[in-house]
Chains A and B, each alone.
Chain A
């Protein structure tokens, strides 16, 4: 195609009415033919940007990007694996076992006439937060402590209540489901 033909295509190019194949040809001609480019810029100054964007980043920069992306993918995989290893049902079961153990200890100690037991089971994944009230020890004739388990999304809460002479003593365990068991 001659330069004259390309120049005739200019209005259609600016109107966005050229088909894509001709448009691509027009643009590549504009990049390579100085005369047609000068003519086109004279008609439409923004066509100076037909020269823009032809430089590529250095290969080193591209490889840096590849390395960063692959590292990001590994990180994402690791996070996904960690998310997958969280098993709330396992945490709930562990919480129940811990609660039963704590209740048994409490029961045994109160049988021996020992003073009020303090729950200290604050291991990695288990926290004891805010006892509702700390009252006197329940006697052996009193009903055993009541345990309730509640699951809020991935978090498991275990409530333990014991009824004493002067009211109810309560403790709540919050089990972290991310805890490795």
Chain B
């Protein structure tokens, strides 16, 4: 692929994203007028992504669906407070993430995480090239879920939003209600912890020359 083609694709992605944001605002206006079907379209558009992110925070698929539903209902109740300066998804993820973090804090997270860790006893064999080409997306999700329990709720949220959901730093800062520098720090700390855990639990992903390093 030529540089120009690649650049066009990148610009295309950015344009597509801004078109989605504009369309979201139209749908939000319709929903504000009481159009439930318009709001249902927003649920169809964002519930999958929000569930993916929330499930990695609460470490439980079913609880994650409950959080997603609560987040949408809360969003509907507060739709008149939505600030169009931010995309609807940013605002929605903020509500969902806060609910998820509250849930993690309110329950005995250690016990839940322990159970989730036991559910996923994934061990892979072979070198890096063999393993990552064989890896199914679901398996990587399982490994991530197994390891994020070592992160604080904020680190977990920042890492998921930034590295999995592809939010911009400014958007993650808005979602978590902190500064961009804090987001970068959360992601940095999360990466450091995950690297350490990968080295001890999944050494097949660590190059030979890095094994044993902390």
Bound complex: CA A66 to CA B48 (Å): 11
A residues in contact with B133, CB < 8 Å: 34, 38
Most buried by A among B40, B77, B187: B40
- Could you give 22 example pairs across A and B, Cβ below 8 Å? A25-B10, A38-B128, A41-B128, A41-B205, A42-B207, A50-B163, A51-B132, A52-B144, A53-B144, A53-B165, A55-B141, A57-B51, A57-B52, A61-B65, A64-B65, A65-B43, A68-B69, A69-B69, A70-B36, A70-B39, A72-B76, A73-B73
B residues in contact with A48, CB < 8 Å: 132, 135, 140, 143, 198, 205
Interface 9-residue window, one of A14-22, A99-107, A161-169, A170-178: A14-22
Chain B, residues 37-48, CB within 8 Å of chain A (1/0): the string is 001100110011
Most buried by B among A20, A21, A46: A46
Which B residues are within 8 Å of any A CB, using their own CB?
Answer: 1, 3, 6-7, 9-11, 13-14, 36, 39-40, 43-44, 47-49, 51-53, 56, 65, 68-69, 72-73, 76-77, 128-129, 132-133, 135, 137-138, 140-141, 143-144, 160, 163-166, 168-169, 184, 187-188, 191, 194-195, 198-199, 202, 205-207, 210
Bound complex: CA A37 to CA B135 (Å): 12
Q: Which of A41, A55, A73 contacts B76 (CB 8 A)?
A: A73
Bound complex: CA A41 to CA B9 (Å): 25
Which A residues are within 8 Å of any B CB, using their own CB?
Answer: 1, 5, 14, 16, 20-22, 24-25, 27-28, 34, 37-38, 41-42, 44-46, 48-57, 61-66, 68-70, 72-73, 76
A residues in contact with B43, CB < 8 Å: 62, 65-66, 69
Question: Do the beta carbons of B205 and A45 come within 8 Å of each other?
Answer: yes
Given contacts A51-B137, A55-B141, contact A21 B14 (CB under 8 A): yes
B residues in contact with A62, CB < 8 Å: 43-44, 47-48
Question: Do the beta carbons of A70 and B10 come within 8 Å of each other?
Answer: no
Bound complex: CA A10 to CA B14 (Å): 21
**Does more than half of chain B's interface fall in helix, strand or loop, or is it mixed?**
helix
Given contacts A70-B36, A70-B40, contact A76 B140 (CB under 8 A): no
Q: Which of B9, B10, B48 contacts A57 (CB 8 A)?
A: B48
Q: How far is the CB of B191 from chain A (nearest CB, A)?
A: 5
Bound complex: CA A71 to CA B188 (Å): 41
Given contacts A62-B48, A72-B73, contact A46 B191 (CB under 8 A): yes
Q: Which 8 A-B pairs have the closest CB atoms?
A: A53-B164, A72-B73, A1-B6, A51-B140, A69-B72, A56-B48, A52-B140, A45-B198
B residues in contact with A68, CB < 8 Å: 69
A residues in contact with B9, CB < 8 Å: 25
Bound complex: CA A76 to CA B69 (Å): 13
Minimum CB distance partner of B163 in chain A = A49
A residues in contact with B135, CB < 8 Å: 48, 51
Bound complex: CA A65 to CA B195 (Å): 35
Question: Do the beta carbons of A24 and B187 come within 8 Å of each other?
Answer: no
